[in-house]
Structure 1
Amino acid sequence: MAGRAGDQDTHHPVREVVRRVRDTLEEVFRAVAETSADTGALLDEVSGPGREPLAADLAALRPGLRARLAGHPLVSGVGFVAAPGLLADVPGWLEWWQRGPDGAVRPLLLDLDPEHSAYSDYTHWDWYTLPRETGRRAVAGPYVDYLCSDEYSLTLSAPVVLGGRFVGVAAADVYLRHFEAAVLPVLQRLPAPARLVNARGRVAASTDPAHLAGLLTKGPDFAAVLAGPPTEHRTDGLRLLPCGGTPLVLVTADA
């Protein structure tokens, strides 16, 4: 009987949601981790006494970034975003490559000169500020990605640290429609409306008409839930369950 109960718990709909979200996000986070490792190694190699890294140095990341776009079907864009002041010759930089609607892989070209009216300041976006502030991986969005694709997207990111110093983020984009296609079928099996939220309370996917994808929700401290042990929480009639160590929380009614 004990073994049968354990098997039932393994196949419980809530656990199925957690597994599906974890597996979906971890595929993308592998691309982020690979980018972070390559970037850290490169910056360590080109930095030293009397030598600061330059924007041109980051071109060495391009073969790996292109390979990640080819090898990770969910990833629509991937790259390294430098902290202001990291590079000696430019105020900021995105070494970012993305797959276009035609399947072609091309670089993202932005105006990163703060003296220009078209300046694209990336330092206020959640995908940059969350890893910088917390030192942990983050899921930002969904939001309309005006910088890259004009698509509703999620951005998964992680801090890149060199010698104890934050030097930027490694990140990858996922179109929301692709993420929803992966997770909504298991969310819909739950007996009550449910949603997935990030550390800020932004809804990443939902079967709850009161909390649609993209909305910023109020309520529990989701960041604290994610920062603590990956165990279930119950508060204010809600059941909160971190999704397998990933930066999303499953929120549903505490039935």
Structure 2
Amino acid sequence: MTANAPVAAPVPVPVPEAPAVRDHAAEAVARVREAAEGVFAALREVRAATVASLRPAGGRRPVVADLAALRPLLWSRLDAGRVPALPALIAGIGFIAAPGLLADAPWYLEWWQENPAGDPVQLLRDLDPSSSAFYDYTHWDWYTGPLSGAELTVCGPYVDYLCTDEYSLTLSVPVTVEGAFAGVAAADVFVRRFEGAVLPALRGIPAPAFLVNAGGRVVASNTARWTAGSVYRGGEGYTVRPVGELPLSLVTGA
């Protein structure tokens, strides 16, 4: 008798893996978060430095001169456009004091703006309440948001007629000293710069997509139907994704 020959085991045929499906919306959320968080990180630095400057030696009330200690930090944030390693988003930055905070100036802004021709320049406004040109900053959303308890505020887009005449966003955080509201740390970002940072990611989404702030105002968009500055109030067929803990959301359509 002849023994049966062994039967060879079948060779498994490798099945190619399905290509990973890119989540373009998630990528856009990450890019927006990176851009905005960079500005808020700078504002947290300004807040910490402001709190330190508002605690002068001897227990006296702070004065305008105490805030001069902020200037090197503020100037460094405005130099970003001349340092390739830093994002050139911030066009103006500073601390806005709560009325009555300073002993020698009931109203005050330690605010500096970039200057393409040279060193940063300080914004000077009429802060005399008896003047017809008095600049009452306390009614602006970038001030009232932090005052009402919001940790992060994004105001705009709006045309900044008072400072730059540019279509702008203002991002702000509250400054508190020993639990008391002392004012606001804020930064201006030109919309065109913010769009330059986030639009490539928005355009990667194969559907209408736009970014809105907490009030529903469009900040950036990949579609002409939703231009920056328009207001989104909800609608059928749209999906809203929060951008982390930021007061921003990504809205996408079908």
For this structure pair, what is the TM-score category when the shorter chain's length is used for normalisation? 0.7 to 0.9
Residue 197 of structure 1 aligns to a residue in which SS? strand
With normalisation by structure 2, the TM-score equals: 0.85
The aligned runs of 1:1-150 (5 Å cut-off) are: 8=20, 11-45=22-56, 48=59, 51-71=60-80, 72=86, 73-150=88-165
Cα deviation 1:99-131 (Å, max 9, x = unaligned):
124243111111111111111111111111111
Cα-Cα RMSD? 2.0
Stretches of 4+ aligned residues off by more than 4 angstroms = none
Contact 1:79–1:170 (Cα < 8 Å) also in 2: yes
Kindly state the Cα deviation for residue 236 of structure 1 after the two structures are TM-superposed: 4.3
Contact 1:46–1:53 (Cα < 8 Å) also in 2: no
Residue 134 of structure 1 aligns to a residue in which SS? coil
Residue 76 of structure 1 aligns to a residue in which SS? strand
Distance 1:47 1:119, change over 3 A: farther
- Partners in 2 of 1:47 and 1:57 — Cα distance? 13
Residue 65 of structure 2 aligns to a residue in which SS? helix
Across the two proteins, how many residue pairs are aligned to each other? 232
With normalisation by structure 1, the TM-score equals: 0.84
- Partners in 1 of 2:203 and 2:129 — Cα distance? 46
Point out where structure 2 has 5 or more consecutive residues left out of the alignment.
1-16, 81-85
Point out where structure 1 has 5 or more consecutive residues left out of the alignment.
220-234
Larger radius of gyration: 2
Contact 1:46–1:57 (Cα < 8 Å) also in 2: no
- Partners in 2 of 1:75 and 1:47 — Cα distance? 35
- Percent of paired sites with the same residue: 55
Match of 1:191 in 2: 206
Residue 90 of structure 2 aligns to a residue in which SS? coil
> What letter is aligned with 2:112?
W
Distance 1:93 1:47, change over 3 A: farther
Distance 1:8 1:114, change over 3 A: farther
